[in-house]
Structure 1
Amino acid sequence: MDFYKNYNDLGKKTITTTRSEFTETIGEDGTRDIIKRVLLGGNVRDTTEFITQRRLLNSYASMLELFVNTFSGQDTQQQNDLKKYADSVIKELSTSKKDAKIFDLWLLGLTKKGFDNIARGNLSEYRKSFEFSTKNAVADFNEDFGQITGNLELNGKSVPLSWEVLSLMLLAIGSQTLTLRGSSKSMNGKMFEKLVLGSILTMIGFEFCSTLPKKIDPENKIFWLSNMDENERETDATIVYNNKAVSIDIGFIGKGNPEITLDKVTRFEAYKRIGGIKHDMSTIIIVDTVADHSDLFNKAKRVKGKVLQMKHEDWTIQFANVLNNIFDLQLELSDLHTDDLEKYFESHLKNIQISNFIN
């Protein structure tokens, strides 16, 4: 059996996706709309979740078609032969690479991470456990729920339902879900962190540098994204002006991830040499939500940092005021009222080349 070859193109496209493919899917206007929503206090996942769900449904439908095509025409004994199935997948897996390897692992109920941590690279031992546990589960299902009856029919092909076939398909779908949700969450989060920061900083008058400058003119208001300094400490953006610099950490982090948020306040220093010039450093941490009893604000205060929550409709005004105080500026955004923000963002976002912030 050549499982990956028979997996349709719609399903193959969902295995991995790039940031450019994501923005092509929703278009530049759609991307700008999501950025605007976040700048107005919205949750980026309100929109990206539906895109992820569609990606999952496409992969599920493709997996269903694969199982119908694979088992159609086989007799019941062949369809329920778990050892033959596992052996066939492992044989294909021994030579598969990249997306094909990820896909083949799904058929064994594994993700790439699971392959390393659970199977430990030993597929021979894993196959025995896979076959044994699935057989036991099927026996329990028949006893607890009774035999399952009916047919899966698609495009003129039919497969009699059995707990064996259904269990194999559900295991594959479960691994699909873990992989696709994990990759979507990571990619969407990192991409929109850059898009939001790049857009807001451009709007308020800072010039984007695609790489960290070797020399800096103190009179220029500039910023760059995702820099790793000599101490291997990553910051999502750095703003520089008049011998002062601000390190910004942003994350779509909510109440469910307090430990990640608290870690951010321990990363920053008071002074740093950038572009051959010593800069006074400040810290701004931007998160989606902070739990009511979080100690984040106190920890940030001890390192002279500021914490902003994107759940607030006026968080960008607060952001502009913080920069005013640090750089001794008077940014237009800081003088706006909340009711003025949507019009302000719409007029400025249309002039921003958002592709500059995607890499």
Structure 2
Amino acid sequence: MTKFIDLIPEDSLELVNYKGKDLIQKLGKNIISNVVLSILCGDNIRNLTEGLTQRRILLMNSSLIITYLKALSSFGNLSSELTSIISNEIRTERLSPNKKKYLLWFLGLTGKSVQNVIREDDYFNDYLSSLDGNLKKIARDIKNKYGDMDITIKNNGIEFLLQWPDLLRCMMALGAQTLTIRGSEKSMYGKLFEKFVLGSVLSMLGFRYINKDDPQTNGVFWLSEREDKRESDATVLLRPGSGIRFDIGFIGVGNTEISLDKVSRFERVMEKGGTRNATITIILVDKIGDGSRTPQMAQAIGGHIIQMSGSYWVHQLAQTIHEEYDFFDSPLVGMDKEDSINFLHERMQEIDLSQFL
């Protein structure tokens, strides 16, 4: 007996969900390093990764259409029976998370909508019982508005006739799929490149990357601290007693106040290895909107905010640290802005990004 899940192209299942390490393997370290370098020189991460996101979305969209066409050949009245077919397989088959997510798309559901709309099994049954009725009503309304729609598709020598019920089902699935992929990519790229950018720029400034539990306290840094009131994306110890907390966010204009609200809860004293260290806060954001209260808010919490949209933001970061701690020394301190760009290009070749994963 044919199962719907067996019609899904196997290679597309690999694209349903993957992690940062998978991304490096798929794209290669050189491409990732070039993206990081571009961010260090002021480029926007969304612009740099949008092409990668579009590729994944279109590959997945194409596989979804192919899966539907295969199902048309394998099942009878698919447009009216698909909800029953998929819900039955979700309940009775032992599915991998990727397969289950793929099937849910044909029900118009993403992981978020399952949490927010369905919530419990009873709600899921109610959703399924109303889904087909909703689609039929919408198909009638669209037919009255736009007329009949008959599309003939030929794939591998086989012709398929798609009408409004088929098209609506596919469009609903494509929408759920696209929302899922965009959401996961935004989260994945954000978390991944936050570590890569912080790890790279702090290494270039002359700090050594260590594990948080390492007892070293001179010229070192570690990533992602999550404890009690303190929550920082990176922590630097210049020497015993002197530290910096970093918060980074690839967030749009108007959202930087959110980041500031979070870092305003940072404690200004950190203990490590029995030593109390006074810390300042440096916030890295993509861009600050006109009229934003962010610079004043940053000053109020004794911190600094730097926009990564500037071509020379790494140079500015070095000067800011030197102003706070005059003993801090780096080749970037006092360096010409234009020369700092060449410095970044040279040093990026020496950075092993995989260590920051």
Task: Confirm or deny a common fold (TM above 0.5).
Answer: yes
Name which of structure 1's ranges 261-270 and 23-32 shifts more when overlaid on structure 2.
261-270
Match of 2:9 in 1: 8
Q: Give the Cα–Cα distance (whole angstroms) in 2 for the partners of residues 286 and 348 of structure 1.
A: 20
Match of 1:203 in 2: 204
Match of 2:347 in 1: 348
Q: How many residues align?
A: 350
Once the two structures are TM-superposed, the CA of residue 235 in structure 1 deviates from its matched residue by 0.9
Aligned pairs (5 A) from 1:105-254? 105-122=104-121, 123-209=124-210, 211-213=211-213, 215-217=215-217, 220-229=218-227, 231=228, 233-242=230-239, 243-254=241-252
Once the two structures are TM-superposed, the CA of residue 275 in structure 1 deviates from its matched residue by 2.5
Match of 1:324 in 2: 322
Specify the code of the residue in structure 1 equivalent to 2:334.
D
Q: Is the 8 A contact 1:40 1:342 kept in 2?
A: yes
Q: Give the Cα–Cα distance (whole angstroms) in 1 for the partners of residues 261 and 101 of structure 2.
A: 32
Match of 1:293 in 2: 291
TM-score by length of 1: 0.93
Once the two structures are TM-superposed, the CA of residue 330 in structure 1 deviates from its matched residue by 2.8
Match of 2:20 in 1: 19
TM-score by length of 2: 0.94
Once the two structures are TM-superposed, the CA of residue 335 in structure 1 deviates from its matched residue by 2.1
Once the two structures are TM-superposed, the CA of residue 317 in structure 1 deviates from its matched residue by 0.9
Q: Is the 8 A contact 2:254 2:288 kept in 1?
A: no
Is there any run of 5+ residues in structure 1 with no aligned partner, and where? none
Q: Give the Cα–Cα distance (whole angstroms) in 1 for the partners of residues 302 and 68 of structure 2.
A: 58
Once the two structures are TM-superposed, the CA of residue 246 in structure 1 deviates from its matched residue by 0.6
Once the two structures are TM-superposed, the CA of residue 267 in structure 1 deviates from its matched residue by 2.2
Q: Does 1:91 align with 2:88?
A: yes
Q: Give the Cα–Cα distance (whole angstroms) in 2 for the partners of residues 58 and 136 of structure 1.
A: 31
Q: Is the 8 A contact 1:202 1:208 kept in 2?
A: yes
Q: Give the Cα–Cα distance (whole angstroms) in 1 for the partners of residues 223 and 27 of structure 2.
A: 23
Runs of 4+ in 1 over 6 A off after TM superposition: none
Match of 1:32 in 2: 33
Q: Give the Cα–Cα distance (whole angstroms) in 1 for the partners of residues 317 and 151 of structure 2.
A: 60
SS of the residue 1:184 aligns to = helix
Q: In the superposition, relative to structure 1, how do residues 319 and 88 fare at CA in structure 2: closer, same or farther (>3 Å)?
A: same
Match of 1:65 in 2: 66
Specify the code of the residue in structure 2 equivalent to 1:174.
G
Q: In the superposition, relative to structure 1, how do residues 336 and 70 fare at CA in structure 2: closer, same or farther (>3 Å)?
A: same
Match of 2:281 in 1: 283
Specify the code of the residue in structure 1 equivalent to 2:182.
R
Q: Give the Cα–Cα distance (whole angstroms) in 1 for the partners of residues 216 and 48 of structure 2.
A: 39
Q: Is the 8 A contact 1:108 1:172 kept in 2?
A: yes
Once the two structures are TM-superposed, the CA of residue 74 in structure 1 deviates from its matched residue by 5.6
Once the two structures are TM-superposed, the CA of residue 269 in structure 1 deviates from its matched residue by 2.0
Match of 1:308 in 2: 306
Q: Is the 8 A contact 1:107 1:169 kept in 2?
A: yes
Specify the code of the residue in structure 2 equivalent to 1:322.
T
Q: Deviations over 1:208-250 (max 9, x none)?
A: 01x2125344xx2000001112x15421000002211111000
Q: Is the 8 A contact 1:221 1:241 kept in 2?
A: yes
Name which of structure 1's ranges 185-194 and 115-124 shifts more when overlaid on structure 2.
115-124
SS of the residue 1:318 aligns to = helix
Q: Give the Cα–Cα distance (whole angstroms) in 2 for the partners of residues 101 and 20 of structure 1.
A: 23
Specify the code of the residue in structure 2 equivalent to 1:255.
V
Specify the code of the residue in structure 1 equivalent to 2:215.
K
SS of the residue 2:232 aligns to = strand
Q: Deviations over 1:32-69 (max 9, x none)?
A: 11111111111112121100100000001101111111
RMSD of the alignment, in Å?
1.6
Q: Give the Cα–Cα distance (whole angstroms) in 2 for the partners of residues 215 and 47 of structure 1.
A: 37
Sequence identity (%): 31
SS of the residue 1:324 aligns to = helix
Specify the code of the residue in structure 1 equivalent to 2:130.
S
SS of the residue 1:182 aligns to = helix
Once the two structures are TM-superposed, the CA of residue 256 in structure 1 deviates from its matched residue by 4.8
Once the two structures are TM-superposed, the CA of residue 101 in structure 1 deviates from its matched residue by 1.3
SS of the residue 1:215 aligns to = coil
